[in-house]
Amino acid sequence: MLELVKNPNFDFIGFRKIALWASLTVIVLTMLILALRGGPRYGIDFTGGAAITFSFQQEVSAEEVRQALAAAGEKSYEVTHFGDKRHVLVRLKVLDTTRDYLTPIQQQFDQRFQGNTYTVDQNDLVGPKIGTELREKALLALLFSWIGIIIYISIRFEAESFLGVLGTLVFGLIVLSISQAKAVLSSDILTLLLMAGSLAVMAYICVKFNFKYAVGAIAALIHDVFFTLGLLTLMNVEVDLTIIAALLTIVGYSLNDTIVLFDRVREEYPKERKHLPMDTIINNCVNHVLSRTIITAGTTLLAVIVLLFFGGEVIRPFALAMTIGIIVGTYSSIYISAPVLIYWQEKFGKGQELAGKKVQA
């Protein structure tokens, strides 16, 4: 039998204070970076505008392309290479979507890059209205995935908190109806307020109904999303729809990891709680699922890294976000969700059974 770690017995939970502080520091730093940069670097999906990718036969300098764009009458543009110097991404501010921006640019290119043929690989145009809508939808999507997860986890792990589930459901419906009323949601600030308000209400529901498992899981998810977003901002990666998709997938993956651990906790806690303190039991659980954690994270990471290296330019940002997310998600299931579970139980869970009522599995 080939084994990665024989009878692991690492003191993961013993490091939880350090880890918690480290995570908090990183999150605060991330928020600072985001604030300083005025939010993540949004792609045209969220800002509106045009993005055109050209593939040239021979290398071109960004400067030449800029000159051509200026000559074509563009005022606000951004030129970046990706992959190599033959591929150019041009971003334009396009407020009037009836404007034909491509033809003048192509005329300039034809003139300036004679003998260096090129193709237009991608030409995306997002009107300002759609951009705003997509941004709102993305935020709401994150919010709804969180709500859905709270509901699922509380049904699964904390069946006695029926009222809590009901509360979350009603809350989700309210958010849904507000989001549907487009007039209310016309600005970003309102969307953010809605997000903040939702988090507050969610926190209240969690305290009120003592959703310890849900709190642990949600804390890990929020951690993962902010961490990944911050790192991407630091790396100057554009946030577009595929990044949002990656973030949601990370949420799913991270939760997966957390649930495997929590399932183990729920199974072992009732057996051991008479003779062992809670943190030791949870630490044992982490060790029990350790080889599974390593193997799953390893194989998933392998698959995503392959995508990062061989998947091509289009999918690279997605693969990058996933790579970060899987590492962070694995870390957070051990160092965020489990410590939060312990903390919550110590603070709010006086006299209550940690494992809750066992649900028929």
Interaction with another protein in 143-172: which residues (CB under 8 A)?
144-145, 148-149, 152-153, 156
Could you tell me the smallest distance in angstroms from the CB atom of residue 351 to another protein?
27
Among 127, 201, 276, 343, binds another protein (CB under 8 A): 127
* Rounded Cα–Cα distance for residues 189 and 136 (Å): 10
In terms of Cα–Cα distance, which of 178, 168, 68, 171 is closest to 118?
A: 68
Residues 113 and 144 sit within 8 Å (Cβ to Cβ): no
Residues 308 and 319 sit within 8 Å (Cβ to Cβ): yes
Nearer to another protein, 39 or 148 (CB): 148
Is 296 one of the binding residues for another protein (CB under 8 A)? yes
Nearer to another protein, 20 or 272 (CB): 272
Nearer to another protein, 121 or 272 (CB): 121
Among 20, 26, 33, 125, binds another protein (CB under 8 A): 125
Could you tell me the smallest distance in angstroms from the CB atom of residue 216 to another protein?
14
125, 274, 288 from 296: Cα distances, Å = 39, 32, 14
* Rounded Cα–Cα distance for residues 221 and 267 (Å): 23
Is 322 one of the binding residues for another protein (CB under 8 A)? yes
DSSP string, 163-183: HHHHHHHHHHHHHHHHHH-TT
- The footprint of another protein on residues 96-115 (CB under 8 A) is 97-98, 100, 102-103
Residues 341 and 266 sit within 8 Å (Cβ to Cβ): no
Cα maximum dimension of the chain = 82
* End-to-end alpha carbon distance in the chain: 30
Stretch that binds another protein, among 191-199, 278-286, 303-311, 346-354 (CB under 8 A): 303-311
Could you tell me the smallest distance in angstroms from the CB atom of residue 18 to another protein?
28
- The footprint of another protein on residues 219-248 (CB under 8 A) is 241-242, 244-245, 248
Nearer to another protein, 240 or 342 (CB): 240
